[in-house]
Amino acid sequence: MRRTARKLAFHTVGWVLLLAGVAALVLPGPGLLMMLAGILVLSQENAWAERQVEPLKRRAFEAAEQGVQTWPRILGSTLSACAVIAVGIVVGMDPLIPEWGPIGPHLPFAGWGTGAGIIVSGLIALALIGFSIRRFR
């Protein structure tokens, strides 16, 4: 029973991280690093995932290194992460917006639950920028 529960927990956490990483490739967020985290978790229980760790780790670190090669990139990344945090605060405050078709007078999915998730994403991005600067510069 414990083995099954452990396996289910690893699979759930791993797949959530992996899918969130795929989504973060097109949305604001550290996509490759989240995918790497998901694959690392899944590799504890799956041989196929273990074979994917090194290639994904290499690509994630290459992307992190490229992201901090120049000061304009660092500044742009930092400002983008701060903008994500600002959006999270606005979504959390749930301001009134003009009605436009079915949307309005409140933001869809607004509130502190969604806002906190967005803010945490921005904070993670800032932490990863700091990590990348420290490691690669």
* pLDDT for 52: 93
* pLDDT for 124: 84
Q: What is the total count of domains within the chain? A: 2
* pLDDT for 28: 64
Q: Which helix (H) or strand (E) holds 31?
A: helix 31-42
Of the CA atoms within 13 Å of residue 12, those in its CB half-sphere come to 6
pTM for the full predicted model: 0.71
Q: How far apart are CA 33 and CA 128, in angstroms?
A: 9
Residue 78 to residues 30, 40, 84, 88, 97: CA-CA distances in angstroms?
A: 13, 27, 10, 15, 28
* pLDDT for 15: 94
Q: How far apart are CA 106 and CA 29, in angstroms?
A: 25
Do 74 and 119 lie in one domain? The reply is yes
* pLDDT for 112: 94
Do 131 and 85 lie in one domain? The reply is yes
* pLDDT for 16: 92
**Domain that residue 124 falls in:** 68-137
* pLDDT for 38: 92
* pLDDT for 87: 94
99-117 residue pLDDT tens: 888 888 888 888 999 999 8
Q: Which residues of the chain have pLDDT under 70?
A: 28-29
Do 8 and 43 lie in one domain? The reply is yes
Do 21 and 43 lie in one domain? The reply is yes
Peptide bond into 105 cis (omega under 30): yes
Do 43 and 85 lie in one domain? The reply is no
Do 48 and 18 lie in one domain? The reply is yes
